[in-house]
Structure 1
Amino acid sequence: MEYSTCSVVGGGPAGMFLGLLLARAGVRVTVLEKHGDFLRDFRGDTVHPTTLELLDELGLGAEFGRLPQRHVSEVKGPINGRMQTLATMKHLPVRHRYIAMVPQWDLLNLLARAAEREPSFELRMNTEATGVIREGERIAGITYRTKSGATGEIRAELTVACDGRFSVLRAAAELPSRSWTAPFDVWWFALPRNDSDPVGDVQITARMVAVLADRGDYWQCAIIIPKGADPQLRQRPVTDVVATMARVLPWLGDRIDVVRDWDDIKLLEVHMDRLHRWYREGLLCLGDAAHAMSPMGGVGINLAVQDAVAAARILAPQLLSGTAPDLAAVQRRRLLPTVLMQRMQRAMHAKVVEPALSNAVERPDIEQAPLTLRILCRLPGIRAIPLFLVARGIRPEHAPDFARRTPVSR
């Protein structure tokens, strides 16, 4: 049996930011990550302006700027038969007017290096949380299993679940949630990028509802498909996927045969939910463990990081003083941004995704954006609102004083 003031389960962005911030406050913190490294096929590689600003406040901006990355500042889509700018960040009132597309393992390694410089921080790789330790109604810690098969316990004043939408700790703590049905799932795959392709854009096509993000040497592609339609659609030739995209984006015509096997196209089943209460005595859920987000807008990581910053600012003084942590205060601080963002995503599902999917099925030979996007394209002032909320977030969090280091601009 071991002890840590705070145990954080999950070495994703929320868990690593939380561990770093608490350690800089002097809190003894242990982060558990079930894998042996961060080199996995992360799909959430977007770093939003608020997270970029947070990295500056933590004194990590210059180091982050040296990571391989692509800056995306515009979204383009088909309006009246040609690709037009649907949204741009170039005029938003934020410090960083772009989303940085960075391999998530690079970001996590950066955070790990910074956290390991703090004497009260410990990162345990190949260590998977398997359950919780109960003392009456209180969660007193976790049980774990290592890759070698060894088992153990870590008791803690506070355990934080940052282990995603299928959180083991959330299930073990029996925290009830509310869920919403999303009308779509997502196919993910990559296409090679040529030097003559568009630069620094997100390209959207209405036919097949495809989204392409510029990643430098490749395009990260997402195709939105009707919920549950994956088995049926995979009965078609796999080359139809890129061929259909190339009808709208002719510069993809030389890559139609690149995707040769359906195994190259991964399925992401979209779920949305939110816990009624994010905590019970001794346990707090953050990020997707508290509120699974839709991939619309790519806001899930940014929202999880903001949760972590708020939790560190509120809880670090209490953990240092031995005061019972006020977990309800964390939920009160982060509930409104979560509710509003999920409502915005559900509105996008209803007003943009469902009409687009309907057009793709009923009129597959017509390349036209949903009416909502066509209206927004004509009203720049209005279309800037959802983009501003995606870029900045609702109630953005800043690094607490105890975690700040001299900012270095990029």
Structure 2
Amino acid sequence: MRASRTRSGRRCSKRSGRTRTSTGTSARSTTSGCSRFPRRAGRPSTPGRSGSTSRTGSNARPRSEPIPLLSGTTRRVARNHDAAAWPLGVGCRHRGGGVESRVTIVGAGPAGALLAWLLSSRGIETLLVERQSDFEREFRGEILMPSGLRALAEAGVELAKDELLPLRFFEGWMNGRAFIQADADAAGGDFLPPSAVSQPKLLERLVAMSEATGHFSLERGATVRRIERSADGSSVLHVRSDAGDSKVEARYLIGADRRGAVTRRALAPRVRNRGAMLDVVWFKMAYPEAWQPGTARFVGGRGQLLIAIATADGLLQMGWVILKGTFGDLKSRSHDEWVAELWNHADSELADHIGRHAETITRPFLLNVVSDRVLGWASPGALLIGDAAHTMSPVGGQGVNIALRDAIVAANELVPAFSNGGDVDAAAARIEPARARELDVIQRMQAMPPRVMLGTRGIHALARRVASRFLSTSFGQARASVGGRLFFDGVVDVELTV
């Protein structure tokens, strides 16, 4: 076993374990002994399992001990066109013209893909069903906060330097004047800046890692149209793909897909909607030559907000935050009129860039912003996580990071239950309480800025002027950094314990 130290001085060890498959080949699983990022002191930890997450409990496993993988077939069965059978992969069994899987995850976004890796790498046979055939076809958040970076490190997912673009320069503008200009390098020490990442590449990395375990199968371009629930907790998924209609029998079902998908409709008894007064128009354009690499700029004023952030692919990702319901007027305008309206709300430097490079603007699209949370993530034989369990506002760039942390907490509970023959439903029921506090705090914080930035009454304009002056002072910036740290680092510590 090889040991090293993190930047904070903690010892970190890694081991790898092998398991012999039924075909005589070896599948390798590597687990990370601890995060390569420093832990933060003085903040509460994620609530643990009763008798299973404790390092000293009877079922505890030292972090450096390899996870014993379960034996399972790695035999691939050819597609049976006559029986309309599902194309079988690792961890799935043919049964009556369909497929049966031990764990079926619907949705290969950050939560679903990371949880699939955490389960399959510990020998739990997992089928991941994704409606898109190409991860590039759907808009996906591209900002990893330190909380998300730490979650990936906990899971043993190491991204290459050329896959990440650290955001090091932050600027805030209000009513035409800069009130915040910060350089992350000046923070020194162990400060870990947010980073832009290509989420499609991240998802492909997670899929490739899962496939290497020998206990994982991915079905792309497969849309779940209907779910039948049985009294014993199992589910039958009616799936449509280019190959036709088929069925998947899921002994345990995890919904990790989008908010309007069938899994939430089938499994969510109640949803708490926090409301959202904003929508966001997203587009990309050429990156300003005069800007430092890794710049993020936020421009507010006149009841609008512009977000301009460097991306990992060398472009400028822009979000035009507008009042909900006003996109129809923008959409009806010509391209030149639309750009002129955007130009009116930018600071002088950004407006000049928009005017000179308007032809590089990609086709804008509207993100209908919703903020909600399902009440009751777990039900017999099923669980919701990620976007299926909660919809996050884009304020603060939290969606990807919250989803990754969901997957870590879910793995902490589910892996011991599946591996040791425990009560999976009882384990799943502990996930929502472990995540509820963070979600509640973050969603309440996300609702605050739009009320001030987008308000059209005189009191809102006054509040914006006061806020810009307050935030230009060292005291105001210190106060704002308290809330900012929650967006950066999360509300509670989330650590992988399996």
Query: Which range, TM-score by smaller chain?
Result: 0.7 to 0.9
Contact 1:53 1:96 in 2 (8 A): no
Cα 1:213–1:124, aligned 2, differ >3 Å: closer, same or farther?
Answer: same
* TM value normalised by structure 2: 0.72
Structure 2 counterpart of 1:175, from 260, 264, 269: 269
Paired residue type of 2:366: L
Deviation (angstroms), 1:126: 1.7
8 Å CA contact 2:155–2:496 kept in 1: the answer is yes
Give the stretch that moved more between structures: 198-207 or 300-309: 198-207
Superposition RMSD in Å: 2.8
| Shift, 1:339, TM fit | 1.0
d(CA) in 2 for partners of 1:75 and 1:82? 14
1:48: Cα distance to partner?
Answer: 1.5
TM-fit CA distance, 1:137: 7.2
- Does 2:386 match 1:291? no
Q: Kindly indicate whether the alpha-carbon contact (under 8 Å) linking 2:305 and 2:454 is maintained by their aligned counterparts in 1.
A: no
**Is residue 433 of structure 2 the alignment partner of residue 321 of structure 1?**
no
Matching residue of 1:213:
309
| Identity in percent | 25
1:71 pairs with 2:172: no
Whose helix fraction is larger, Structure 1's or Structure 2's? 1
Query: What per-residue deviation string (whole Å, max 9, x for no partner) do you get for residues 42-83 of structure 1?
Result: 24011121222233333332xx12443321134311258532
* Alpha-carbon distance between aligned partners in 1 of 2:197 and 2:361, rounded to the nearest angstrom: 26
AA in 2 matched with 1:102: V
Alignment of 1:3-402 (within 5 A): 3-61=100-158, 64-78=159-173, 81-85=176-180, 95=190, 97-136=192-231, 138-156=233-251, 158-207=252-301, 208-215=304-311, 217-236=314-333, 237-246=337-346, 248-250=347-349, 252-256=351-355, 258-259=357-358, 264-325=363-424, 326=426, 327-350=428-451, 352-355=452-455, 369=464, 371-378=466-473, 379=475, 380-401=477-498
Of the structure 1 ranges 192-201 and 306-315, higher mean CA displacement relative to structure 2 is found in: 192-201
- Letter of the 2:262 partner, please give it: V
Deviations 1:173-197 (A, max 9, x none): 3522111221111111112113222
Cα distance change of structure 1 residues 123 and 94 upon mapping to structure 2, 3 Å threshold = farther
Answer with 24-33 or 135-144: which moved more.
135-144
How far 1:111 moved relative to its partner?
0.9
Query: What is the distance in 1 between the residues matched to 2:234 and 2:187?
Result: 44
Q: Helix, strand or coil: the match of 1:60?
A: coil
- Give per-residue Cα distances to partners, 1:263-314, cap 9 Å, x unaligned: 8221111111111211211111111211111110010111111111100111
SS at match of 1:197: coil
Note if contact 1:185-1:270 (Cα within 8 Å) is conserved in structure 2: yes
C-alpha displacement of 1:198 = 3.9
Distance 2:194 2:250 in 1: 39
Distance 1:385 1:174, change over 3 A: closer
Cα separation, partners in 2 of 1:253 and 1:339, compared to 1, 3 Å: same
Seen in structure 2, the aligned counterparts of structure 1 residues 54 and 91 have a Cα distance that, compared at 3 Å, is: farther
Going from structure 1 to structure 2, the CA distance change for 1:88 and 1:377 (only over 3 Å counts) comes to farther
CA contact (8 A) 1:377 1:383 kept: no
Specify the code of the residue in structure 2 equivalent to 1:214. A
TM-score (norm 1): 0.86
**Partner residue, 2:28:** none
Q: Please, which runs of 5 or more residues in structure 1 have no aligned partner? A: 402-410
Q: Relative to 1, partners in 2 of residues 1:373 and 1:89: Cα closer, same or farther, differing over 3 Å?
A: farther
Kept in 2: contact 1:185–1:267 (CA 8 A): yes
2:264 and 2:173 map into 1 onto residues whose CA distance is: 42
Q: CA deviation at 1:376?
A: 3.4
Greater CA deviation, 71-80 or 278-287? 71-80
The one-letter code sitting in structure 2 at the alignment partner of 1:388 is: R
Secondary structure of the corresponding residue to residue 138 of structure 1:
coil
Greater Cα shift, 313-322 or 374-383: 374-383
> Is the 8 Å Cα contact of residues 67 and 106 (structure 1) preserved in structure 2?
no
Structure having greater relative contact order (Cα 8 Å, sep ≥ 6): 1
Worse-superposed segment, 318-327 or 328-337 = 318-327
Q: How many angstroms apart in 1 are the aligned matches of 2:187 and 2:249?
A: 45
1:184-227, Cα deviation, whole Å (9 max, x unpaired):
11111112113222432211112431110012632111111111
Q: Deviations over 1:289-343 (max 9, x none)?
A: 1111111001011111111110011111111233331221011111111111111
Equivalent pair of 1:87/1:384 in contact (CA under 8 Å)? no
Q: Which amino acid aligns with 2:396?
A: G
> After alignment, is 163-172 or 305-314 more displaced?
163-172
Kindly indicate whether the alpha-carbon contact (under 8 Å) linking 1:238 and 1:260 is maintained by their aligned counterparts in 2.
Answer: no
Is the Cα–Cα contact under 8 Å of residues 171 and 296 in structure 2 kept in the other structure? yes
**Residue 407 (structure 1) aligns with:** none
The 3 A distance-change label for structure 1 pair 373 and 337 is farther
Q: How far apart, in 1, do the equivalents of 2:187 and 2:213 lie? A: 36
Cα distance change, pair 182–58 in 1 and its aligned pair in 2 (3 A): closer
